[in-house]
Amino acid sequence: MPNNNNIDGIIEQLSQLPPLSSLTVDQQRQQAEQLFGAGSCAAGVTFEAANLASVSGLWATPADARPDFVLLYLHGGGYSFGSAQAYRPLVSQLAARSGIRTLCIDYRLAPEHPFPAAIEDALDVYRALLETGVNADHLVLAGDSAGGGLCMALMLAAKAAGLPLPAAAVVMSPWVDMAQTGESWDLQKARDPLLGALAGKTLMADTYLQGAEPLNPLASPLYGDLRSLPPVLIQVGSRECLLDDSTRLASRLASAEVAVHLDVWPGMIHVFQTMSDHLEEARRALDQISAFLLRHLGEDVSQDRHPSSTGACNPMNRRTL
């Protein structure tokens, strides 16, 4: 992420990047790897290659990991870019703060693998975790942007399959409406340095859906039956195109009698939590996520956990799990 210690400076630097709408999918992937992979990894977190249900990924394990708890992290990237490798900085920060062993998966990406490939992979991994002995009460979900929408879709798919649901979920700036009907797509387009250029376009949705119905709840969980889902924490910045996805999701969850906490961070931009090297708000947001997850796992959250960073990410142990 850009090297600046205030949000205005970061926005200025991000505004210099070529807009996503001007890039090919390969170029989007290259830009995402550079942006998300540039952050610092938390000290004491090690990485191991993972493969569950033929889906690869990375385990991020903090030095004091709680042995029975697992966080399944679903990365963002509009369903067409992003990777477990690029998300090592963010995932390690979450793992270190919570003490939870964290799995970030490389679900299949569009356009090579359109909807419903991502949700199929996520559900297969979720089922595999349960089958390998992870108790659903000790399993939590988190994701950002498209990955946040995928977390919500995964819970709908798990519920439909009769699987036990996780203890809680955290979604950061979730993309839950493929039809992009939220007013913030227009109202925030001049203020959102990452997604603003896409306002009025369905480029990412079209790449993922490739003709599938945009209101399908597994693509757009905003329109799904949200009843009986576990507690959900939603974090979103006030100056992003996906603001209304978050506020409407919170409203729908509340109407479905799901315990939901919506936190709108003033002045923050899309997935600001990835900028913890430079933003105090990002560090506080990650602390909030950790406390929320641990609380719903029945753990004491009174102990402060403020991980230091290593700069470059730790070398990865190549053992496959």
Instruction: List, for residues 1-31, the tens digit of each pLDDT value.
Output: 455 568 999 999 998 888 877 888 899 899 8
With H, G, I as helix, E, B as strand and everything else as coil, classify residue 67: strand
Mark whether 112 is an active-site residue.
Answer: no
- Given a contact cutoff of 8 angstroms between Cβ atoms, the answer to whether 275 and 39 are in contact is yes
According to the model, what pLDDT value does residue 306 have?
66
Alpha-carbon span 303 to 135, nearest angstrom: 24
CATH number at residue 51: 3.40.50.1820
Alpha-carbon span 47 to 41, nearest angstrom: 11
Placement of tokens 């992290």 in the chain: 73
Handedness of CA 312, 142, 57, 176 (dihedral sign): negative
Mean pLDDT within 243-254: 98
Mean pLDDT within 156-167: 98
State how far the alpha carbon of 129 is from the alpha carbons of 69, 123, 136, 166, 200, in Å.
Answer: 11, 10, 9, 11, 39
Alpha-carbon span 131 to 85, nearest angstrom: 25
92's tokens: 């390690």
- The phi, psi pair for 69, rounded to 5°, reads -100, 145
Residue 314 maps to a domain: no
Confidence band for 303, pLDDT divided at 50, 70 and 90:
low
Does a cis peptide bond (omega within 30 degrees of 0) precede residue 315?
no
Residue 307 maps to a domain: no
The pTM of the full predicted model, rounded to 2 decimals, is 0.94
User: Of the ranges 19-28, 36-45, 98-107, 199-208, which one carries the lowest mean pLDDT score?
Assistant: 19-28
Mean pLDDT value across the chain: 93
CA angle 17, 86, 288 (to 5 degrees): 95
According to the model, what pLDDT value does residue 317 have?
44
Mark whether 270 is an active-site residue.
Answer: yes
Residue 319 maps to a domain: no
Q: Which of 40, 240, 276, 290 is catalytic?
A: 240
- Structural domain total, the chain: 1
- Domain range enclosing 165: 7-301
Over 50: is that where the pLDDT of 53 sits? yes
Mark whether 296 is an active-site residue.
Answer: no
According to the model, what pLDDT value does residue 3 have?
55
| Amino acid residing at 6 | N
Residue 306 maps to a domain: no
- Given a contact cutoff of 8 angstroms between Cβ atoms, the answer to whether 163 and 220 are in contact is no
Residue 240 half-sphere exposure, CB side, CA atoms within 13 Å?
A: 26
Q: Which of 75, 138, 270, 296 is catalytic?
A: 270
Dihedral of the CA atoms 107, 110, 115, 121 (nearest 10)? -10
The set of residues, in sequence order, having a beta carbon less than 8 Å from that of 44 and lying 6+ positions away, is: 62, 63, 64, 96, 307
Residue 321 maps to a domain: no
Alpha-carbon span 70 to 103, nearest angstrom: 7
Provide the β-strand partners of residue 260: 232
Alpha-carbon span 86 to 34, nearest angstrom: 8
Residue 60 maps to a domain: yes
Query: What would the DSSP string read from start to end of 206-239?
Result: HHHHTTS-TT-TTT-GGGS--TT---EEEEEETT
Q: Which of 92, 145, 276, 290 is catalytic?
A: 145
Query: Pick from 91, 17, 78: which is nearest to 50 by CA?
Result: 91
Residue 309 maps to a domain: no
91's tokens: 């995932």
According to the model, what pLDDT value does residue 318 have?
35
